[in-house]
């Protein structure tokens, strides 16, 4: 049972309606996460702003989706696992194996593997990385700008994970469940 209400796009107005129209025009629908975030246009607009900015970054949509899967699995967010598996397949054109590996924080590509490991470190250490963590990611050929983008992707995905877990957002994508038991 959901804890926060997903708004009906046909019954909204003002800023929320305008923001919903962006999703409806781009995706043909307004997913439940956005419909629930619509209760606060500020959070929805903030999500959209950071997501849009990172989408224009150097890491690209494929790596962004892989980071999203790593973070969602780390946090046990079934909504985000479901959404990013769907988006990874349909929009980013990622193969199933790459997405399954990303859920475990790994990749066959050495640079992407280092990126996903660093994303996991950020989540597990709550941002309190050590000199060696940063040295390892840089040694893998990741630029300082890309390190900043990884941090941004992790922060964005922690926001959506925590939001959806708190809201108990109804999953409107094919269900993908976390590999780890839910924290109670």
pLDDT exceeding 90 applies to what percent of the chain? 96
Q: Which two tokens stand for residue 37?
A: 């975030």
Q: Above 80 in pLDDT, residue 91?
A: yes
Residues in CB range of 10: below 8 A, 6 or more apart: none
Note whether 67 and 105 are same-domain residues: yes
Note whether 89 and 113 are same-domain residues: yes
Terminal C-alpha separation, the chain:
16
Note whether 68 and 43 are same-domain residues: no
Note whether 83 and 138 are same-domain residues: yes
Note whether 131 and 86 are same-domain residues: yes
In a domain, 122, yes or no: yes
Contact between 174 and 78 under an 8 Å Cβ cutoff? The reply is no
Residue 95 belongs to domain spanning: 60-167
Find the DSSP H helices in the chain.
Answer: 14-27, 32-37, 41-55, 60-75, 78-90, 96-103, 110-124, 131-139, 144-167
Q: Above 80 in pLDDT, residue 74?
A: yes
Note whether 72 and 107 are same-domain residues: yes
Gap between the Cα atoms of 4 and 88, Å rounded: 26
Note whether 102 and 24 are same-domain residues: no
In a domain, 104, yes or no: yes
Contact between 113 and 107 under an 8 Å Cβ cutoff? The reply is yes
CATH number for the domain spanning 124: value is 1.20.1290.10
pLDDT digits (tens, 9 = 90+) for 28-56: 999 999 999 999 999 999 999 999 999 99
In a domain, 85, yes or no: yes
Contact between 93 and 182 under an 8 Å Cβ cutoff? The reply is no
Q: Above 80 in pLDDT, residue 82?
A: yes
Q: Which two tokens stand for residue 45?
A: 């607009």
Gap between the Cα atoms of 84 and 65, Å rounded: 6
pLDDT digits (tens, 9 = 90+) for 127-182: 999 999 999 999 999 999 999 999 999 999 999 999 999 999 999 999 999 998 66
- Number of structural domains, the chain? 2
pTM confidence score: 0.95
3-state secondary structure of 79: helix
Note whether 79 and 29 are same-domain residues: no
In a domain, 178, yes or no: no
């Amino acid at each position: 049972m959901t804890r926060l209400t997903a708004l009906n796009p046909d019954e909204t107005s003002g800023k929320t309606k305008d923001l919903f129209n962006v999703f409806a025009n781009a995706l043909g629908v307004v997913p439940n996460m956005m419909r629930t975030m619509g209760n606060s246009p500020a959070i929805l607009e903030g999500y959209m702003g950071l997501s849009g900015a990172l989408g224009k970054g150097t890491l690209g949509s494929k790596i962004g989706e892989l980071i999203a899967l790593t973070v969602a699995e780390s946090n046990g967010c079934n909504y985000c696992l479901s959404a990013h598996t769907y988006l990874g397949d349909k929009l980013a054109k990622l193969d199933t194996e790459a997405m399954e590996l990303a859920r475990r924080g790994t990749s066959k590509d050495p640079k992407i593997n280092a990126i996903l490991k660093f994303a996991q470190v950020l989540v597990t250490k709550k941002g309190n990385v050590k000199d060696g963590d940063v040295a390892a990611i840089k040694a893998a050929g990741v630029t300082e700008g890309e390190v900043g983008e990884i941090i941004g992707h992790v922060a964005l995905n922690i926001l959506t994970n925590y939001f959806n877990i708190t809201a108990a957002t109804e999953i409107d994508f094919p269900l993908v469940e976390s590999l780890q038991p839910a924290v109670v």
